[in-house]
Structures are given as C-alpha cells and as structure tokens.
Structure 1
Amino acid sequence: MESAKNNYETLRAVDPGAAVESGAVAPKPGHLGVAPLVGGEWSLPEGKPYEHGEADREAAEKWGPPREDLDRRTTLRAAVGLLAGLALAVWLFGLGLTPDRYLLVLLVPALMLRRGRRYLLDFVPFAALLVIYAQSRGIAHLLRPHPHYLPQLNTDKFLFGGVVPSESLQDWLWNGTQQWYDHVVLAVMRLHFIVPPLLAFVLWVKRRALFYRFAATMVTLSFAGALTFLLFPAAPPWAAGEQGLLPGLIRIPHNPAPHPSGAHGYHAISISRLIDPNPYAAIPWPHAGYAFLCFLFVVTILWKTRWRWLALVGGAIYPLAQSFAVVYTGNHYVIDLALGYLYAGAALGGIWWLWRRRGLPE
C-alpha cells in the first residue's frame, strides 16, 4: 500500500461500465504559474492581459515595449512628432547631430507616446556613454597626436595593385569645385549621425530588449574604436596628401567647417564638444562600423521573416553608400572600412553571445 501511494499509477474504473483514460495527463503550459518562453521573448503580445502572474508582468515591463496598447493613431502622431523634431534640429544644426541634441529630438515622439519618463531612463545613460566616447576620441589625440601614415596607405596599394582608391576616385570625379553629386555624397556621409540613434528608438518602441542589446553593441563598438585610436593613431588619405605622400589628394570639401552646422550655425551649443575632436580617428572607421552594425542588426532581426531579402539587399545600400562617400572624399582608406566592418561584426557577435549566456531576452 505504501509503495502505491508514492508512485504514479494508471487510474482504474470503479464501475466496469465507466470509461477512464489510460495514462497520465500531461500538464499544459497554460496550467503553469509562468508564461511559456517562445523564441527568447519574455513579453506577452501587445494588448494581451497578463494571465501568468506577477513575474510575467515584471518581465514584460522590463523587456517589452514601452507602451503595449499602441494604436495606429498614436503611432502616426508620434511619427509626425519625430519628423517635425528632426527637421527642426537639422534646420538649426545640420545633419551633424550630437547625442545630446538627438536625445531632445527623440523626446518629442516619446512624449507623444506618453512614455517620456521611461524614455529618459533608458536613453540618458545611452547618450551619456556616447558623449563620453566622443570626448575619449579627443583625449586619444591629445595623448598620441602623431599618427601613422604608411601602414594603411601601403595596405591599400597592396590590395589594389599599387593604386589608392581615394586617389583614383578623385581623379575621375573631382574637378576643383563642388558639383551637385558632391553635395549628395556629403549628405550621405553625414547620415552617420542620423541613422543609428533613429534605429535605436525604433527598436525601443518595438521591444526594449532589442534596444538594450543594440545599445550595448553600439557602446562596445564605440569604446573598442576609441581604444584603437589611442593605441594606433592612423592618418586618413587627406592627411597623407598634405604630407606629400599622395600628391593632389585632398579632403572634400577642401576647407571643411570644424563642425557641420545648419542654417543658423548653432554648432557650438553641445556638451559633446567639450574637448577638441580627433582630426584623424581613421582606424577603425566609426562610420563603417555603425553603418554595418545597423545593417547586421536589422538583418538578424528579420532573417526568419518574409522581409529578410529586402533587409539584406536594401539594407546593404546604406553601408555601401557610406563607404563610397568616405573613400571618395579622402577621409578613409578601404582597409579602414574593412576593419570597421570587422569591429562591428565582432561587437555584434560578442554581445549576442553574452546575451545568450546570461539568459537575457532577445
């Protein structure tokens, strides 16, 4: 009798005429006290009530979207606010938006979503780390003001049969004055300041777990670059041209403003420029790293959806356009781009591995 109490046994009918299922009934996920985890997501679908207890509510509040009951009208209103705030910022400051300025721009749609406090709690640390990164670039130049000229120059010559791509592109396209396509190229290059924070905000609205992972990856990439600027200061092609190593090669525009400014030139109002910026910072190229990181992140998110090929083909245009722009303008060698891509891939893979190892929601 005692052994029967301590072991699971198949039920037997008391009444021989009654039908009883043979075999134990397995519990269903809905019978448990916590929600089932599907695909690493620790949040309920938007608009669904919490059915699995307080633990599920806390997980959704921490990792889920900042607002779950987001309807189409509110989304449209927030999008209009974002476009209006961004247009005003570009009109005042130009495309070279610093993290502190962008923080204020993105606050507009966050307020329209009625999640201003949550936005500030999530984005202020992110923006602060990017400001610190910007200052660390300048500090690296103060500590190591004399860059290397030949390693990256010789590498490009080796890769392209004795030709430096920046030199060839300027021979073909530059005629001494800025043409319409030069203005387009410069605008594309300055999208570097626009796209990554915008992607971060879109991910935040979708699911904060995505934003946290993207922000961690971008900050890791940034400080890895800052450390490299200190350990191996590298001069870009235009600096080699000034030294006579690449005769005739210039920086386009030839006499650039110290900071890209908008119609009213309020470029000095920024805490991101307390220290003079690094005039070189060529290896690894931050534009390439950020552009390639945005591309990789979007592709990894959409890879299991029907949008994967659109993300793969369409998304590749952004880093490729950035790469062409900086090579043509004399700001970077091709090897700078390759190393920037390598740093971005390593940062993405490293944070993804750490995320999985710690069991964090994706």
Structure 2
Amino acid sequence: MTDLHAPLSSAVATASPASAGRWRYVRWAAWPLYFFLLARWTDRNGLPYTEDLVFLWLIGALLAAAVHGGEGWRRTLLVLRDWLPVMAVVWTYGLLRGYGAHTPWAPHLRPQLAVDTALGFGRTWTVRLQDALYTPGTAHWYDYAAVTVYMSHFFVMFVLLAVLWRRHRTGFRRLLACYLAVTYAGFLTYVLYPAVPPWMAAERGAIAPVTRIVGDVLAQAELPRAASVFEDGSRFANDVAAMPSLHAAYPMLIALFFWPMAGRRLRVLLAAYPIAMAFTLVYGAEHFVIDILIGWVYAFVIVRVVQHLLDHRARRRAGAATP
C-alpha cells in the first residue's frame, strides 16, 4: 500500500502507467483549472477584494501549488490544517467588527477633527488635498494609483503570509501573530472608541463636502466588486471603525517586520508603502491623519512586543533542549 504521507511523485512512480498518466494530467491541470475558476467567478461576481473571499482563493492557490508540485497528500492537507483556522479567526473578526458598530456610546469626532484641523493649519488635509487634486467625475492617473494602493490592503498581507508559509514557516507564524494582534487590538479600540471618518464628518456638516474617491473611481471604471458576506450593506458593516486605521497599520507592520532582513531596494519599497497608503486614506476621505498615526503606533508597539515574546520563547525552548 502506498504511504499516504509520501510525495505524490513517489506514489505516481509506484503506480501503474495508466494511473501515473492520470496523476500527471491532474498536476498539469491544477493551475489552469484554478485560474479558469477564478476568472469565471470574477466575471460573474466581481473582483474578490474582501478578507473572506481573498482567503478562499488564496487557499485554493496553495492547494493548486501543492498538487502541481507533486508535493503529496500530506503537504496538501497541511494547507487546510494551517489556513482554515486562520480563515476562521479572520471571519470571526469580521463578525465582531460589525457588532462593534452598535456600542451604547456615540461615535467620536471632535478630538480627531481638532487634531487634523491643527495639522492642516485651519482645514483638514482631506479637504485640502481634494480641493487641490480631485476633479469630480474625472479620474486622473493618481486617482487610479490611489485606488490600487487602497485595494492592496485586502490581499498584500495574505500573499506575504502565503509566501512565508511555503518558504519560511517560522516567519509565517511570527507575521501571523503580529497581524492577528494588530487586528484584534484594532477591534477592541473600535468598541471602546468608535470614531467618525472624514466622509461621514462631511455628511454631518462638520467639514466641507468631500468624496469617497475609491468608490467613485471604481464606479467610473465600472468595475464590479464582489461584496463580502460581512460587509454587504448589512449589520456586519462598521462605518465608525476608523481609529486606529488598520489600512495604515498593516503596511507599517509589513515594513517593520521585513526591515531587518531587507536590502536597500526593498527598504525603499517598504518605506514607500505606508506613506502611499497614508496619502491615499487622507486624500480619499477614509481616515483622518490622527487615525493613521495611531495605526502606525499600534503596529510599532505590537511588532516589538510580539517579536520580543517569541524570541524569549525560542530562547527558553533552546535552553530546555540543551543537555
């Protein structure tokens, strides 16, 4: 009997020629089938851009890679063992985030508005940037660039986790721990301090009228977007989850995490990503500047604390293993 945990290539080698041929076809078909299904799904439902949908397709890509590489059933099952719990945690956050919008206390606006007005010398930077750069009904190249940066929030972290999962399992666990810690610290803050974003402040008349540029540009481009089960205009949406900005926190987390091991060119990209995201969020009326600064502080503190705790744990294990 063939060992279940043996590489698929070994199993094929001991199988009959007909069976080996069928397995070869399965391996060759793994990626074409994956991309066919993804293209078909996107054509019918729109771009998958929310965490739950990105996770599903990412797990599918890892499974396709395992099958195509002939890595065996054990490696294929490891994809499900390691990623389904992560997906469940992210889904749980999506549920909790929505419930966080229904706190008994009203969302806050005055503190962040006062800080941003001071930083903007009398006007918020969202109003200043849109007055200078945005043309209603006409999307410029930098508007499309801002949309691209904004949408990267929904997949960059997961792609990096997937790469680390395949190449550096310790790095995967460390980045995942930092990501989950920042995410749930953000959720706790949303519950304790629901905060009004600039676009909602404009709707309330607290600042001059502004436009949610990302949604406006996507509408102009007529790009359909697949809605998450948690954010489909339902009770799971949370419009006052603005402080801290996780859109800003994740790029800073990525920069801090990879900085020690990065070369000069990569460090340029690592530094540029949080800055580009910060500009996008303020310009697009999604966050005040103070939301972004607090998000950066969360990322810095949590990366330092998590790395310290994991390093301490590794030293203790190494000491226990030493005779």
Residue 61 of structure 2, aligned match among 102, 105, 108: 108
Work out whether residues 95 and 190 of structure 1, in 8 Å CA contact, stay in contact via their aligned partners in 2.
Answer: no
Query: Does 1:336 find its partner at 2:291?
Result: yes
Work out whether residues 34 and 60 of structure 2, in 8 Å CA contact, stay in contact via their aligned partners in 1.
Answer: no
CA displacement at 1:235 relative to structure 2: 0.4
SS at match of 1:142: coil
Q: Flag structure 2 segments of 5+ consecutive residues without an equivalent.
A: 1-27, 319-323
Work out whether residues 246 and 295 of structure 2, in 8 Å CA contact, stay in contact via their aligned partners in 1.
Answer: yes
With over 3 angstroms needed to count, the CA separation of the structure-2 counterparts of 1:272 and 1:328, relative to structure 1, is closer
- Find the counterpart in structure 1 of residue 7 from structure 2: none
Query: Does 1:299 find its partner at 2:269?
Result: no
SS at match of 1:143: coil
TM-score, scaled to structure 1: 0.68
Q: CA offsets, 1:137-173, max 9 Å, x none? A: 1111012473111100111122232231101000011
- Find the structure with the greater CA-based Rg: 1
- Find the counterpart in structure 2 of residue 137 from structure 1: 97
- Find the counterpart in structure 1 of residue 136 from structure 2: 176
In 2, Cα distance between the equivalents of 1:348 and 1:174? 35
Identity %: 29
- Find the counterpart in structure 1 of residue 162 from structure 2: 201
Q: Flag structure 1 segments of 5+ consecutive residues without an equivalent.
A: 1-76, 303-307
SS at match of 2:211: coil
TM-score, scaled to structure 2: 0.76
Q: CA offsets, 1:16-48, max 9 Å, x none? A: xxxxxxxxxxxxxxxxxxxxxxxxxxxxxxxxx
1:217-296 aligned within 5 A: 217-252=178-213, 263=224, 266-267=226-227, 270=229, 275-296=235-256
SS at match of 1:152: helix
Work out whether residues 78 and 109 of structure 1, in 8 Å CA contact, stay in contact via their aligned partners in 2.
Answer: no
1:317-356 aligned within 5 A: 317-356=272-311
- Find the counterpart in structure 2 of residue 120 from structure 1: 80
SS at match of 2:107: coil
In 1, Cα distance between the equivalents of 2:88 and 2:247? 19
With over 3 angstroms needed to count, the CA separation of the structure-2 counterparts of 1:254 and 1:313, relative to structure 1, is closer
SS at match of 2:206: coil
Query: Does 1:186 find its partner at 2:144?
Result: no
Matched to 2:290, the amino acid is I
SS at match of 2:243: coil
Aligned Cα RMSD in Å?
A: 3.2
In 2, Cα distance between the equivalents of 1:188 and 1:87? 22
- Find the counterpart in structure 2 of residue 152 from structure 1: 112
In 2, Cα distance between the equivalents of 1:230 and 1:85? 41
In 1, Cα distance between the equivalents of 2:308 and 2:114? 35
Matched to 1:322, the amino acid is M
Matched to 2:59, the amino acid is L
In 1, Cα distance between the equivalents of 2:102 and 2:201? 20
Matched to 2:184, the amino acid is F
